[in-house]
Each structure stands twice: as C-alpha cells, then as structure tokens.
Amino acid sequence: MKTIKVKDYEEMSQKAAEYIIKKVRNNPKITLGLATGGTPVGTYRNLIEDHEKNGTSYKHVTTFNLDEYVGLPQENPQSYRSFMDNNLFNHIDINKTETHVPNGNKETLHTECKSYEKTLIDHGGVDLQVLGIGSNGHIGFNEPGTSFESKTHIVDLAPSTIEANSRFFESEQEVPTQAITMGIQTIMNSREILLIVSGENKRDALFQLLNGEEVTESFPASVLRNHPCVTIIADEAASANIKYGI
C-alpha cells in the first residue's frame, strides 16, 4: 500500500481530486467506483472546480457507487443517489444513465443485488475505486464480520454506523437500519483503490489498517493489505502516532 500523508482535509481533498483527474484524463472511458459520506465531499468539490476551470470531461466515464440505504426514497436528500447527484453528477458533464447506484427501494432486494453485481461485471469492472473507512473499519457498508468472499448484498447496519450517520438526519431513529452494499470481493476486484482518510475519529481505524497484526474479517479494511494497488491519502489528524514510510 502506498501512503501519502497530507496536512488536513482540504489538502486530502485536493490531492485525491488530482489523483482522480489524472486517471480520467489518461482514460476518458474509465469506470470509477465512488463513495458517499463526509470524507469525499471535498474531493468531489475539487473535481467540479476542475471541470469548470479546466474542462476535464466525464462524458464517457461510467460510475458505480458502493452502497445505498434500503427503504429511503431516491429523492430523499439523504439517499446516496441524491448525495451523488447534488455533490457531483449535477455539476459535471457525466451521462446520468452511466451513473449506477444500487436501488434500495426494489421489492426484490436480492434480485437488485445480483443485477447490480452483474451490471458491474458486464461493464468490465471498476478501474479506480474511491473508498472511505468507517471508524469500525467498515468499507462500503461491509461491517465487521462480513465475509471476504461477499458480493453485492443486503446488510444490517452496525449501531456505531447508525450513530455516525445520524448527523445527516434529524434523529437517529430516522437513519435506515439496512443498506445494499458492494461486497468485499466486489471491492477487491477493482483494479485500483484510492482510500481517503481524515480526522481524529478515524485514527484508530487507520492505525489498525496500517499497523494492525492481522488481516481479519473482524476488521474489514484489513483486506486491503491483500490488494496489489492501494493508495491511501490520510491527513495529520488521522495519522498521529502511525508509523509508515512517508
């Protein structure tokens, strides 16, 4: 794993955006795996600014998002479809039909999971997956204990995840308790992974990822150590006390 240490959230966002822009410019037909949450907002803001200023085009880019809540209407501002539209897709020249987010409102959720996985595979897989990390080590919504063999599936969110995400809702009761997420294997099949990490509340998770002893399903992000091409951009608040060769 290659690690890049940066000063703060702003610099992380800038560096991550530069990384993505370079890939898009090198391969205008790239398939990006995208994440939601507080971490990538600044990265997306930088992508938009660059699109407006330098004209980087997303016309031929395809995207697959990691996850989506179950039972939240797509037009709800907290749905991940809304998040992506509002924070990125509405502001760049991407073809919306090529932006894929699991649909958590299908009656047959298992069929939706299978079809999401199949669409991704038929498309040739993800070239560059952008990832955040949960303070409990989750990637996507793959909570501790998720099988490393998992493909796109339905999950019950961990209490710590519901609590962490309640900041986006009026109350904790409003946070959905289930989600559809790409599985660990789905994520590991990406050709390349860019993990962005910011803030003191991610320090323990980053420490365990980089300095922890074992690769274990009880800490899902540890699987990334088995991936041949991972770049981590982490800020100072997240990296205090961590020993890594930067």
- The residues of the shown chain that bind ligand PGA, judged by CB under 6 A, are 37-39, 132-134, 138
Tell me how far, at minimum, the Cβ of 120 lies from ligand PGA, in Å. Answer: 19
Q: Catalytic site residue 123?
A: no
Tell me how far, at minimum, the Cβ of 92 lies from ligand PGA, in Å. Answer: 20
- Active-site option among 50, 67, 117, 235: 67
Tell me how far, at minimum, the Cβ of 101 lies from ligand PGA, in Å. Answer: 15
Nearer of residues 40 and 127 to ligand PGA, judged by Cβ? 40
| Residues 243, 3: Cα–Cα separation, whole Å | 11
| Joined tokens for residue 149 | 């063999």
Nearer of residues 51 and 138 to ligand PGA, judged by Cβ? 138
| Residues 59, 86: Cα–Cα separation, whole Å | 18
99 touches 68 (CB < 8 A): no
Residue pointed to by tokens 């991940």: 80
Nearest to ligand PGA by Cβ — which residue?
A: 37
H-type alpha helices, the chain: 9-26, 41-54, 80-87, 109-122, 159-165, 184-188, 203-211, 236-239
H or E segment and range at residue 6: strand 2-6
Q: Catalytic site residue 51?
A: no
Q: Catalytic site residue 138?
A: yes
Tell me how far, at minimum, the Cβ of 134 lies from ligand PGA, in Å. Answer: 4
Nearer of residues 56 and 224 to ligand PGA, judged by Cβ? 224
The pair phi, psi for residue 72, each rounded to 5°, is -100, 120
Nearer of residues 9 and 116 to ligand PGA, judged by Cβ? 9
- Residues labelled as active-site residues: 67, 136, 138, 143
